[in-house]
Structure 1
Amino acid sequence: MPVVPPGEIVTISLYEASVGVFVPYLGNLSDLLDKAAVHAEGQNIDPAVLLNMRLSPTMYNLKQQVGEAKRHAIVACALLAGRAPHTFSSVEPDIPELKSRISVAIDFVQGLPREEIENAADKEVAFTFKNGTQRKFTGKSLLLTFSVPQFFFHVTTAYDILRHTGVDLAKKDFLGPPR
């Protein structure tokens, strides 16, 4: 592995820091849902019970955690690429539908133009919150200080909910295979 000499500037690809990070962890999240479905069947638990579990009464439930993870990936990449984000129906999702939405999210972010994302570091973008308020960022600050941390908060919380409910998971299920 090359060593960077002191004083050298190391650059990071905005595409790899967004799509390259979101896609494998969305895949891992989908795999976590597979394990949740197996656990529910094995324990004779209605999967909806798992989807509605939460760590605290004021936190989002599992279904919402998954929804927020995919939303942050989609919106961040769409803003960086200068495209409209993909939207989903308001139908209440079950595990197969959540997995389908994750797959659509992966396809969406992978289908965005790499060059547009790469060139968005200094571009001004506006993230719109669910309540309609907006916050302006540069592309780089959106990704590194807001969207990636939000994404990992929700993926981690989904993992934690499943662990808390007894689904047999380990750190490797969160991290996925080494890349």
Structure 2
Amino acid sequence: MSLSLYQISIPLFLRQLNTLSYLLKKGVKTHGQTSEQQQVLLDSRLIADMQALPYQIQRVSDSVKGVAVRLGGAEPESWADDETTFEQLQERIAKTIAFIEKLEPTCMDGKEGVVVEFASYKFPAKEYILNFALPNFFFHFTMAYALLRKEGVPVGKKDYLGAGEPL
């Protein structure tokens, strides 16, 4: 039996969204006791023309929502990108998890060849997930991890992979 589009995306998204929540909690716990310290983390960038931490979380969320809507049959929802605190970012992650937990494991069955079109992109569904959605998701997930690490949050490979110590 081959893997379905659902199996190669949704369980991975769920795991990594929970990991991202953990990384943010670790950031606040270790380097964000004051509002000033939290703001340093929230404003962090690797370079001046890069978007800050909240943007990275929002794009992770949008990548997941895109798969759920384009292939999972979820109803599109417009979410404002207005998160400015760690509490709001945690709420965004929780809302994203709840959004995809509604999907049935069979929701993408037989859709491998469906053409996914958005913006100026056009992909067969399998290529969309493997060559766009997953790489985009991990790009922004990795940027969030890197920004926390850059600011001194003690995260490492185990944390990134989701095997960090519970908080």
Q: TM-score under structure 1 normalisation?
A: 0.83
CA contact (8 A) 2:58 2:81 kept: no
Give the direction of change, closer, same or farther, for the CA distance of 1:48–1:30 in structure 2 (3 Å limit). same
Deviations 1:20-75 (A, max 9, x none): 11110011001111011112334774312211111111222111111111110111
CA contact (8 A) 1:86 1:108 kept: no
Spell out the pairing of 1:141-160 with structure 2 (5 A cutoff). 141-160=127-146
Spell out the pairing of 1:138-177 with structure 2 (5 A cutoff). 138-177=124-163
> What's the secondary structure of 1:28's corresponding residue?
helix
CA contact (8 A) 1:77 1:117 kept: no
The match for 2:53 among 62, 69, 77 is 62
| Residue segments in structure 1 that go unaligned for 5+ positions in a row | 1-9, 128-132
Partner of 1:14: 5
State the identity %. Answer: 32
Most deviating of 39-48 and 114-123: 39-48
> What's the secondary structure of 2:46's corresponding residue?
coil
CA contact (8 A) 2:31 2:152 kept: no
Aligned length: 164
Partners in 1 of 2:117 and 2:89 — Cα distance?
A: 27
Larger Rg: 1
Deviation of 1:170 after TM superposition, in Å, equals 1.3
Spell out the pairing of 1:103-114 with structure 2 (5 A cutoff). 103-114=94-105
CA-atom RMSD in angstroms: 2.0
Partners in 2 of 1:44 and 1:106 — Cα distance?
A: 27
Q: TM-score under structure 2 normalisation?
A: 0.89
Give the direction of change, closer, same or farther, for the CA distance of 1:44–1:123 in structure 2 (3 Å limit). closer
CA contact (8 A) 1:78 1:112 kept: no
> For residue 153 of structure 1, what is the amino acid of its counterpart?
F
| Residue segments in structure 2 that go unaligned for 5+ positions in a row | none
CA contact (8 A) 1:81 1:120 kept: no
Most deviating of 143-152 and 30-39: 30-39
Partner of 1:88: 79
Partners in 2 of 1:90 and 1:29 — Cα distance?
A: 17
Deviations 1:111-131 (A, max 9, x none): 12322223221111223xxxx
The match for 2:115 among 118, 124, 129 is 124
Give the direction of change, closer, same or farther, for the CA distance of 1:52–1:19 in structure 2 (3 Å limit). same
